[in-house]
Amino acid sequence: MLEILNLSVTADKKDILKGINLSVQKGEVHAIMGPNGSGKSTLAQVLAGSDTYEVSSGEVTYEGEDLLELTPEERAQKGVFLAFQYPVEIPGVSNLYFLRTALNTIRKARGEEELDAMDFLTLAKDRMAALQMDDSMMQRAVNAGFSGGEKKRNEIFQMAILEPKLAILDETDSGLDIDALKLVSEGINKLRSPERAIIVVTHYQRLLNYIVPDYVHVLADGRIVKSGDKSLALELEEKGYGWIEEVAAEGELVRS
Amino acid sequence: METMVAVAENLGVYLESLEALGRRVAGREPAWLRQRRERGMQRFSELGVPTTRDEEWKYTSLSELKRNDFRLAAPASRVISAGEIKSMGFNEIEGCRLVFVNGRFMSGLSSLEAGSKEVDAGSLRDFLESDSAEAHLGRYADLENHALAALNTAFIEDGAFVRIPDRVAVEKPIHLVFVTVAEQANQVSHPRTLIVAGRDSQATVIETYIGMGEEAYWTNAVTEVVTAENAHIQHYKLQQEHVAALHTGFTYARQARDSRFASNSLSVGGRLVRSDTHVRLEDAGCECVLNGLYAVTGHQHIDHHTIIDHAMPHCNSHQLYRGILDGHSTGVFNGKVIVRQDAQKTDAIQSNKNLLLSRNADINTKPQLEIEANDVRCTHGATVGQIDEEAMFYLQSRGINRDDARSLLTYAFAADIIESLNVEPLRKPLEQFLLSWVEQAEVSA
């Protein structure tokens, strides 16, 4: 579904990603872990189409298409979804209007019929109930004045409505208390299906107790320095990121 | 020297029109009105058309008023139908409607059923004998400083008169529609409105300015609003002049004890627009709300000046102006809040925010506070910004196309102004209007 080949990315002429290789198949859940500043969020943003970064080399193929050639909205319309680490506040636009516009644009692009206001509300209420969100959230402006936890929940709510094929969750667990974490994880697990792939970007192993990944990759200094199964996350938890940085440094030695 | 000559040359045109007006109204114009008109002309000839050397007109040049002779608009030769008026917008507004074409009251196009028989609303000509007209007309317009208000006063022949008696609450809005049918180049009309609100009264008055025809014209409007104790007046000014038009408008409000005056201004039309709102809070316990939204594109120039004068204690004023500028448009906002020595416990908020949709658009904003009292709470601020690229990316990442995302964010910028419009029949058409404006602006961008 997603093939990342030797992807290098710069921002302000600084190298952030230095040759990422990653292959994600339908139905898989991949966790990308790593210390702060390792490039995790950059990878997530680049996949969603942010123009803050410049791709200096490499390729990304999504369902046989060159992902990097697509605009952010085209990517979303083709099923890519990014749950933001820092969701943006948009005063003056209600959650309801925003999300209905988004869903109907995506449905239209897929050749599906648009949902009318009533059908949309029914769908939204169902998804909100699952995340134990208050109905009043729909009337509020997008993320405006939301607490950190509310914002994260709102991201997962949007994902539940848009039903993407490839979901990238950027530190969705950061700042959540354990109850909220469980709810959010349930929301994510509900979307797990043989047709869908999920990339979970996280700093903490804690999330992976609830969303059990098929693969774990460790990112350090812009490179994937280690890949494995879920036991790698536990090892990381035990030994800390210092261990990985040593591994990365050794890699550097080997390369040079 | 040059200025003097220019004024003198122009004066000839105005004097000519004024003489003709004098002949028309001879014998039926009350003496007090003739005196006030003469005083208006006197002040105008003394002040002359403002120049950019005048601090209050620094960014808005009226030089074309000197280059061209603007003659008083003749009656429109073509017949305007009521349907045409309705189709020009805001036709959902029910209630009393007074329609003026080229400065003249059109009884056939108007509907005087105000929903309350006690309200006096109609052509100013029909109310010149009333005590209210004599007591208030021309009393609040600042003839000392405003040459164009003086010029308007010199040309009072007709206008809109609205009087709400004591303790009367008018449910439906009173709609004043000023239409210019520009059949000849360089014609001017001087719409005049007087709103007198009695004690404990309540009403909503909407002024709409619109134009038809392709010729350049000038609308020079003056509105005076006076509230008695505890009166509540909602005032709307919807400026949708033709894009070739000049619009200068001055609204003066005078508030008595415990009264509330809420002004909502929507300004989208005209090529060169200057709109002034001056409110004086004369007694304690007053509340004044000034909300405004201007949205311009192409080569439009729009200038808003406001003054809120707190003379007495325990008054609140809340001012929120938003501007959206696209294309090569230019804007000016100058808001002054004066808090005089006696106006203790004043609570004044003033904010002007501007959204520039194009690199070529420009805004000069200047919020001002003049405080002489020492126990007050006053805040003011102004911002100029562009569409937030992070918000754009967020919307796009949810599948929303870039153009739609831009429309959505532009509309959102104005949303709290729209939400503050509490005349239901007005809100929907305004929303629609703004949405289509935003879309059009993008097409031309």
pLDDT at A180: 87
DSSP 8-state secondary structure symbol assigned to residue A13? T
For residues A163 and A155, what is the distance between their CA atoms, to the nearest angstrom?
12
State the smallest CA–CA distance between residue B428 and chain A in angstroms: 16
**In CATH, what number is assigned to the domain containing residue A183?**
3.40.50.300
pLDDT category of residue B138 using cuts at 50, 70 and 90: very high
Place of tokens 């004097």: B15
- Residue B230, pLDDT above cutoff 90: yes
Which chain B positions have a beta carbon within 8 Å of A48's beta carbon?
393, 397
- Residue A192, pLDDT above cutoff 80: yes
DSSP assignment of B94-161 equals -S-EEEEETTEE-GGG-B---S-TT-EEEEGGGGTTSHHHHHHTTSSS-TTT-HHHHHHHHT-SS-EE
Region of poorest pLDDT, from A97-106, B214-223, B406-415: B406-415
Tell me the pLDDT tens digit for each residue of A97-151. Answer: 999 999 999 999 999 999 999 999 999 999 998 888 888 888 899 999 998 888 9
For residues B207 and B349, what is the distance between their CA atoms, to the nearest angstrom?
25
pLDDT at B66: 83
Tell me the pLDDT tens digit for each residue of B264-295. Answer: 999 999 999 999 999 999 999 999 999 999 99
Of the two residues B414 and A165, the one the predictor is more confident about is A165
Q: Give the pLDDT mean for A81-96.
A: 94
A126 touches chain B (CB under 8 A): no
- Residue A255, pLDDT above cutoff 50: no
A82 touches chain B (CB under 8 A): yes
Q: Say yes or no for a CB contact (<8 Å) between B394 and A109.
A: no
Measuring CA to CA, which residue among B374, B278, B273, B370 is closest to residue B319?
B278
Measuring CA to CA, which residue among A174, A177, A175, A173 is closest to residue A187?
A173
B404 touches chain A (CB under 8 A): yes
Tell me the pLDDT tens digit for each residue of A178-189. Answer: 988 998 899 899
pLDDT at A205: 85
Q: Give the pLDDT mean for B198-224.
A: 94
B403 touches chain A (CB under 8 A): no
pLDDT category of residue A256 using cuts at 50, 70 and 90: very low
pLDDT at A242: 78
Q: CA-nearest residue of chain B to A107? A: B399
> How many domains, chain A?
1
Phi, psi torsion values for B349, nearest 5 degrees: -120, 135
Q: Is residue B16 part of a domain?
A: yes
What percent of chain B lies above the pLDDT cut of 90?
74
pLDDT at B10: 66
Phi, psi torsion values for A254, nearest 5 degrees: -60, -45
Quote the domain boundaries for residue A97. Answer: 2-255
A162 touches chain B (CB under 8 A): yes
Q: Say yes or no for a CB contact (<8 Å) between A49 and B393.
A: yes
B77 touches chain A (CB under 8 A): no
Of the two residues B443 and B355, the one the predictor is more confident about is B355
pLDDT at A123: 94
Q: A74, A90, A139: best mutation site toward chain B, by most B Cβ within 10 Å?
A: A90
* Close Cβ partners of B354 (under 8 Å, ≥ 6 residues apart): B322, B323, B324, B325, B331, B333, B363, B365, B382, B383, B384, B385
- Residue B443, pLDDT above cutoff 60: no
Q: Say yes or no for a CB contact (<8 Å) between B408 and A105.
A: no
Q: B355, B392, B394: best mutation site toward chain A, by most A Cβ within 10 Å?
A: B394
Quote the domain boundaries for residue B217. Answer: 2-283
Q: Say yes or no for a CB contact (<8 Å) between B398 and A102.
A: yes
For residues A180 and A162, what is the distance between their CA atoms, to the nearest angstrom?
21
Q: How many CA atoms are closer than 13 Å to the CA of B317, on its beta-carbon side? A: 33
* Close Cβ partners of B85 (under 8 Å, ≥ 6 residues apart): B99, B109, B177, B179
- Residue B165, pLDDT above cutoff 90: yes
Q: Say yes or no for a CB contact (<8 Å) between B397 and A106.
A: no
Which chain B positions have a beta carbon within 8 Å of A98's beta carbon?
395, 398, 408
Q: Is residue B44 part of a domain?
A: yes
Q: Say yes or no for a CB contact (<8 Å) between B412 and A91.
A: yes
For residues B298 and B445, what is the distance between their CA atoms, to the nearest angstrom?
9
State the smallest CA–CA distance between residue B397 and chain A in angstroms: 5
> Out of A71, A72, A92, whose CB is closest to B415?
A92
Q: Say yes or no for a CB contact (<8 Å) between A50 and B408.
A: no
Which chain A positions have a beta carbon within 8 Å of B391's beta carbon?
88, 90
Which chain A positions have a beta carbon within 8 Å of B402's beta carbon?
71, 73
State the smallest CA–CA distance between residue B353 and chain A in angstroms: 14
Tell me the pLDDT tens digit for each residue of B44-70. Answer: 999 999 999 999 999 999 998 887 788
Q: Is residue B166 part of a domain?
A: yes
Which chain A positions have a beta carbon within 8 Å of B416's beta carbon?
91-92
pLDDT category of residue A250 using cuts at 50, 70 and 90: low
Pairs of residues, one from chain A and one from chain B, whose beta carbons lie less than 8 Å apart: 76
Q: Say yes or no for a CB contact (<8 Å) between A93 and B412.
A: yes
Which chain B positions have a beta carbon within 8 Å of A92's beta carbon?
411-416
Which chain B positions have a beta carbon within 8 Å of A93's beta carbon?
408-409, 411-412, 415
B431 touches chain A (CB under 8 A): no
A44 touches chain B (CB under 8 A): no
Q: Say yes or no for a CB contact (<8 Å) between A73 and B394.
A: no
Q: Is residue B273 part of a domain?
A: yes
- Residue B323, pLDDT above cutoff 60: yes
ipTM of the complex: 0.94
Which chain A positions have a beta carbon within 8 Å of B390's beta carbon?
88
B390 touches chain A (CB under 8 A): yes
Q: Say yes or no for a CB contact (<8 Å) between A106 and B391.
A: no
Q: Give the pLDDT mean for B207-222.
A: 92
> How many domains, chain B?
1
B402 touches chain A (CB under 8 A): yes
Q: Is residue B418 part of a domain?
A: no
pLDDT category of residue A246 using cuts at 50, 70 and 90: confident
For residues B399 and A77, what is the distance between their CA atoms, to the nearest angstrom?
5
B422 burial class (0-12, 13-18, 19+ CB within 10 angstroms)?
Answer: exposed
A220 touches chain B (CB under 8 A): no
A177 touches chain B (CB under 8 A): no
Q: Is residue B43 part of a domain?
A: yes
Q: Say yes or no for a CB contact (<8 Å) between B400 and A75.
A: no
Q: Is residue B396 part of a domain?
A: no
Question: Collapsing DSSP states into helix, strand and coil, what is residue A242?
Answer: helix
